[in-house]
Homo-oligomer: A and B are copies of this chain.
Amino acid sequence: MLNERDFYSDEPGSFGESEGRIDAGKMRPTMQNVAKAAGVSLKTVSRVVNNEPNVGEDTREKVSKVIEELGFRRNDLARNLRQGQISTTIGLIIEDIANPFYSNIAHGVEKVAQRYHYMVIICNSEENAQREQELSNALFRRRVAGLLMVPASHDHSYLLPEARLGTPIIFLDRPPDHLDTDTILLDNRGGARKGIEHLIAHGHRRIGVIGGDPLVHSGAERLAGYREALADRSIPYDEALLRSNRDEPLRAQEAVHELLMLADPPTALFTTNNRISIAVIRALYGMKRQIALVGFDDFELAELLPVPITVIAHDAAALGEQAAELLFARLHGDDLPPQHLVIPTELVVRGSGELPPE
């Protein structure tokens, strides 16, 4: 059953009120109002609301009754202002919540936050550096207790003042620039290596890469993993097989056409993230072309496609969870030097990565 007490303080409470129409404009009751109505002092109400000791049982009941009658609800804005100047809210800045990668991160973060009785403000930066900065400032003005972010910009010194004030700031998926702080990344390079080694093991020597912004750390690392794998096998690195800045689906499709039109075309493709993988798969279907493919990031239904897609998978929710756990550890006084965690990746063999050359 629901607990009436914490309607106004910490947990839920049923509220016996008949149904009806809404008419706005009434005054929101304050502790002061409750105190007057109950004939006690402000502080006594405060004690009751926060379940503090040293209140007579009769007093407590009387106050509780008034609280219910008036529909009082503690104002956490005022409470936080008085208590510590920071709110029990954390901020999460991601690129786009509609992308499953980020929504899984968000899910992990929110899950942990709920455990700690914190709430999460989620913001979409749309991969825009200026917006990232606007959003962080807006969050800091709201005195979020901490900030988790997948950075879009390439200079995070603007976060330094806030970090110095003690606000934990944790970077997800991409490391900060010009700032030394907690970071949690995927094993981008290692994952890419595994994927490329897999293709090589299946006989491929000309492997095309379709990727996004080469300045984004995760993409750059995946490309580095590609190069390392080739170098290991003494396979020449051919820039003609590379297509960058293909985050837009249309641009990714063009890349497929371009690569397959080459005089000496690739026999396999490596796509560096989920959105690009999907765009490329669409393009290949449109061309009725079959070619070996390994994609970074897993995605739903990959295993049910006519040629099931071999991917480098990882646990995005765990990324969010571990980042949030680290944040709360910092809030609880953990004072270790900046941490750098890595989430492992796994090659999931499904079919597209095992197609032979030609």
Kindly state whether residue A89 has any CB partner on chain B within 8 Å: yes
Q: Are A141 and B74 in contact (CB under 8 A)?
A: yes
Q: How far is the CA of A75 from the CA of B97 in the complex (A)?
A: 27
Kindly state whether residue A32 has any CB partner on chain B within 8 Å: no
Residue in A13, A26, A107, A141 with the greatest tally of chain B CB atoms within 10 Å: A141
Contact with A96, one of B24, B107, B163, B181 (Cβ below 8 angstroms):
B107
Q: Are B157 and A19 in contact (CB under 8 A)?
A: yes
Q: Shortest CB–CB separation between residue A301 and chain B, in angstroms?
A: 5
Residues 1-44 of chain A, each 1 if its beta carbon lies under 8 Å from chain B, else 0: 01000111101111101111111111010000000000000000
Indicate whether A143 sits within 8 Å of B75 (C-beta atoms), given known contacts A110-B123, A160-B20: yes
Closest to A87 in B: B77
Kindly state whether residue A238 has any CB partner on chain B within 8 Å: no
Q: Are B157 and A18 in contact (CB under 8 A)?
A: yes
Q: Are B164 and A23 in contact (CB under 8 A)?
A: yes
Q: How far is the CA of A278 from the CA of B286 in the complex (A)?
A: 23
Q: Cβ of A166: which chain B residues have Cβ within 8 Å of it?
A: 24-26
Indicate whether A111 sits within 8 Å of B124 (C-beta atoms), given known contacts A103-B100, A130-B12, A304-B285: yes
Closest to A96 in B: B107
Kindly state whether residue A216 has any CB partner on chain B within 8 Å: no
Q: Are A140 and B21 in contact (CB under 8 A)?
A: no
Q: Cβ of A26: which chain B residues have Cβ within 8 Å of it?
A: 164-166
Kindly state whether residue A357 has any CB partner on chain B within 8 Å: no
Q: Are A17 and B124 in contact (CB under 8 A)?
A: no
Q: Which of A102-157 contact B (CB under 8 A)?
A: 103-104, 106-107, 110-111, 114, 117, 119-124, 130, 133-134, 136-143, 157
Contact with A89, one of B121, B136, B285 (Cβ below 8 angstroms):
B121
Indicate whether A73 sits within 8 Å of B141 (C-beta atoms), given known contacts A97-B97, A161-B15, A304-B305: yes
Task: List A residues at the B interface (Cβ < 8 Å).
Answer: 2, 6-9, 11-15, 17-26, 28, 71, 73-78, 80-81, 85, 87, 89, 96-98, 100, 103-104, 106-107, 110-111, 114, 117, 119-124, 130, 133-134, 136-143, 157-158, 160-166, 178-181, 278, 281-282, 285, 299-301, 304-306, 317, 338
Can you spell out 28 A-B residue pairs with CB atoms less than 8 angstroms apart?
A2-B130, A12-B130, A12-B134, A12-B137, A14-B133, A17-B157, A19-B157, A20-B160, A22-B164, A22-B180, A24-B165, A25-B166, A73-B137, A75-B143, A77-B80, A97-B103, A97-B107, A106-B122, A107-B124, A110-B123, A111-B124, A119-B121, A120-B123, A122-B122, A281-B304, A299-B301, A304-B306, A306-B306
